[in-house]
Each structure stands twice: as C-alpha cells, then as structure tokens.
Amino acid sequence: MKFLDQAKIYIRSGDGGAGSISFRREKYVQFGGPNGGDGGRGGHVIVECVDGLNTLIDYRYRQHFKGKTGVHGMGRDRSGPNGEDSILQVPVGTQVFEEDNETLIADMTEVGQRVVLLQGGNGGFGNAHFKTATNQAPRHANPGQEGKEMWIWLRLKLIADAGLVGLPNAGKSTFLAAVSRAKPKIADYPFTTLNPNLGVVDMENDGFVLADIPGLIEGAHDGAGLGDRFLGHVERTNILLHLVDGTEEDVVGAYRTIKGELKAYGHGLAEKPVIIALNKCDALTDDVVAERKAALEEAAGQEIMILSGVSGEGVRPVLHKLLKEINLHRGKEAQPEEDEVSTSQGWQP
C-alpha cells in the first residue's frame, strides 16, 4: 500500500427536497384541503475517524464527495426522507483544513470521532404548512435550500509517543528495526527511508510508539532533499530522539544542522524534550567515541548517550530514558502504596 499523507478534495452537501403542493379531494369525505408534505433535508458531509487505516491513499483516486439530495414532499401529508450523508473515513491523526491549507477545521484524534463539515440544505415546506384560517387553500410551497460546497485539505500526522530525527543514513531505520517489529527499508545509502514508519516498542510492563521519518538535510525547510513535510508526523510526539552518526567527522555540525531545521520548521518542535545519542559506536574506537561525545556535550549542553543499533550496545538505557519521559507526559507518576498511612494528618475515622 502506498503512503499518502496529504490530499485535496471537493465536498458538497446535498440540496433540500422541495415541498409538495397537493389537495385532498375525495368524494363523500369531509375535511378536504391542502395536504402537501415537506421535503427532506439534504445529506451532510461528515468526516469520521476509523480504525484500520494508516494512509489517505483512498483520496488519491477520488476527489469529489457529495451528499444526496433530500426527497421531495408528497401528497397525503407525506414528508420526503432525508438525503444520504457522505461520510469521509480517515485514519487517526488526520487534520482537516480549509482551502488555504492553514485554517484548521477539525483534528481527528480518536477512533469514532465524527465532525459535520457541511450541513445539508433544509427541506422546503409543503402547502399544508401554510394553511391558516384566512388562507385555507394555499397554492404555494417552498423549494429546498441549496447545499454548501468547498475544497478542503486532509493532512495526516501520525500519532506516536516518540520521534526519530537525524541526518540521512544516521541509522534511524536500523534503530527502529532493532527495538520493534517494524521492518523499514535499510541500506547503506542516504534517503533509504522515503515514507514515515511506525514501530511499537515493548518494554517490561509498558511500551510506546516510535516514529521514524525520512532524514533531513541542511535547507530542508526551503525544500532541499525531501524537504520538511514529514516533520508533521513528529509534531504530536512527547519527546524526540536525535541520532547523530558517530562515523561522521563533524558530529557537531550534523547536530546543529538538524537543530536548525527543527527551529526553522517551528510548530514547537525545537522546544520539545530531546535525547541526543551518538550512533554507530561499534565502528569506532573508545578514544574516538570519547572525543566526539565530549564535543557533542559541549555543543548541546546536555548528556550524550552512546549506542549502536546494529550490536544493541546502549540501546536499552536509551529506551528506558525515552519511556520515563513519555510516562511523565502520560501522567504516570509514582503513587504512594495503599497501606502507607500519613502520620502528619493524624488518625482519621
């Protein structure tokens, strides 16, 4: 299945059905008169968040979605049924924007969430609605209201707890494959990853979802390389894991390149908590690792983790540190034991 995370579509709600003009005329039956029914409401356009989808590929081959027209009213006071709604099924994490691709209409974050994007036109009143004591035989009815139309953008942002960032060929896909059952494409050349990948990391009694996005290069915010369009998939994460290729000569420059691109992208990515790890340490001597770790710590102003996605060295400490930060955002703080009694409050019944 191809991965598609953005689509532009046209939506239109259904027109309301027209009211009916009808009169009851039956021989030997009293109380004849107007009995035209009302028209039905036009179909809404609804976006619904469903389980089992992870891409917007369905909207590549179909871009027009319209609600059905409401059925017209009929004689004998019969109202027309409402038009059938047009339901857009989207995966969790989809955002709906107006045509300018900036104004947010809906953010679909939970399975089962439904939002009415366009309401169908109201049905028209039949002539029975206009019957009064002074107008006992009205000969007019209302037409149904027209539906509304607009172009919208659907943009998918994967929902993950932690995100992997780094330069191309920094070992992000190898790390994801080592800690989860995900099977991303791995090769010894840059830009192996062309689409975001998700993996579930299982810890002892807990776990989290890790997102791997294609590598960034300098100038990605201006469209260089694959650009920064995939950074939207780590906007919802609680923490970032920044992998720096330890085999690079200038590890400080690699770190500053990614940091600059995150800052240029905005949306709060530069302010997120980040764990910086020097990857591929199995291919380096201890002296080189110590030297490059010290240089990174001086540039970043924080502790640098050492790991190797291939050999597994240092992977578990990084995962535990990620999980600790994620649990803080989840609100999982240490709770006191049930049998522990506070002595400061004294005895209470």
pLDDT digits (tens, 9 = 90+) for 73-124: 998 889 999 999 999 999 888 999 999 988 999 999 899 999 999 999 999 9
Gap between the Cα atoms of 302 and 297, Å rounded: 6
How deeply is 1 buried, as exposed, middle or buried, from its count of CB atoms within 10 A (0-12, 13-18, 19+)?
exposed
Nearest of 317, 316, 313 to residue 303 by alpha carbon: 317
Bridge partner list, 154: 7, 96
Amino acid at the residue 168: P
Dump pLDDT digits (tens) for 296-345: 888 888 888 898 888 888 888 888 888 888 888 777 543 333 333 333 34
Confidence of residue 159 (pLDDT cuts 50, 70, 90): confident
Asked if 19 and 37 touch (Cβ cutoff 8 Å), the reply is yes
As given in the structure block, the two tokens for residue 60 are 């590549």
pTM greater than 0.85? no
Same fold, 6-156 and 162-330: no
Gap between the Cα atoms of 210 and 222, Å rounded: 26
Confidence of residue 223 (pLDDT cuts 50, 70, 90): low
Gap between the Cα atoms of 128 and 108, Å rounded: 43
Number of H-type helices and E-type strands within the chain: 4, 16
More confident residue, 14 or 186: 14
In this structure, CATH architecture of domain 6-156:
Distorted Sandwich (2.70)
> For a pLDDT cut of 90, what percent of the chain falls above it?
30
Q: What's the CATH class of domain 162-330?
A: alpha beta
The number of C-alpha atoms within 13 Å of 92 and in the hemisphere containing its C-beta is: 9
Instruction: Find tokens 């380096």 and name the residue.
Output: 284
Domain positions in the chain = 6-156, 162-330
Gap between the Cα atoms of 292 and 298, Å rounded: 10
Mean pLDDT of 116-136: 92
What is the average pLDDT score of the chain? 83
| Dihedrals phi, psi of 124, to nearest 5 degrees | -80, 155
